Amino acid sequence: AIGNLKQYGAFRSCPTSMVSITTNMKETLLSSHKEAMLNTPFGRFFNLFLDKKIKKESMANQNRNLLFDIISRYSVENDAFKFGEGENAKFVKFEPKHVALTFGIPVYGRKIAEVFRKFRFDPDQSSFLVKHNLQACGDIKRDVMKSNIESLMTAEGSEKDFCRMIILFMSATIFFPNSNNSIGKSFVVHLENIDNMKKLGWADLIYRELMKKIKVQKENPLYCACVIPLLVWFCEITGVMEPRKGYIDGTPRIGKWNFSKLSDVCKKDFIQNIAMDKVYLCKN
């Protein structure tokens, strides 16, 4: 288990910023922009925000202790998480498909070698960065992305740039967050070509970045990793509580669970004492 939690900061992966910028978006967003966004790998996730199916809650931080407990139970040897103790112990796999189910994104796609290009990237050659005067800045700040989204959402003919900016914002605040509320410019290489972007393995990339940090820092918090799928997966495999009323099967499972009640349900030693027959594989 992880020691004194007071010394640690807050998890960065959080949907509250997306909730904020989409609160009144449905009324003003051009239909062409919505259609274009729904036609991306992140369309179903985006639609949850438009329909106000995601609450403005800090999913990870209000469940810090539970997340730390789950993370500390990762076994490198078994490449799985240990639930229960002794004869009741069971190792359960967390896989890319669980990330895909969480956000409603495709399970498969062409492998992305790295989140950010360390070499072979010239911001002046990015038509997207140059068009929005972002090529000369350092990392792209969240407020800058927000401002651009507000301008693009009602601008005729800007469907593709709107999609790029929304996905950039999601990536900066949920999928690949950092401590500076920003994202590296080189990330846009994945978004320049919209058709190519649709073929990339986003679920695998988010999964790999999370597991990379878990394997290296198992005994320390992973503040810049996308830990939300771990919470969704935990709810799925333990049946710890009932789904939200009104949840529609087949929609992204991030909208399925009431995370504000999760910590209350999972009292101290819940994972340690969970019976083996209460843990089951996440259904496809």
List pLDDT tens digits, range 96-151. Answer: 999 999 999 999 999 998 888 776 788 888 999 999 999 988 899 999 999 999 99
> Does 252 or 61 have the greater pLDDT score?
252
At 169, which helix (H) or strand (E)?
Answer: helix 159-170
pLDDT of residue 282: 45
φ, ψ (nearest 5 deg) of residue 141: -75, 150
Q: Do 49 and 250 contact (CB within 8 A), yes or no?
A: no
Query: What is the Cβ-side half-sphere exposure of residue 266, based on CA atoms within 13 angstroms?
Result: 26
Q: Closest Cα to residue 99, out of 184, 215, 13, 189? A: 13
How far apart CA 101 and CA 251 sit, in angstroms, is 8
Phi, psi angle pair for 83, to nearest 5°: -115, 135
Tell me the mean pLDDT in the region 231-249. Answer: 91
Q: Read off the pLDDT of residues 3-56 as tens digits, 9 standing for 90 and up.
A: 444 445 568 889 999 999 999 999 999 999 999 999 999 999 999 999 999 988
DSSP state of 89: -
Cα–Cα distance between 53 and 47 in angstroms, integer?
9
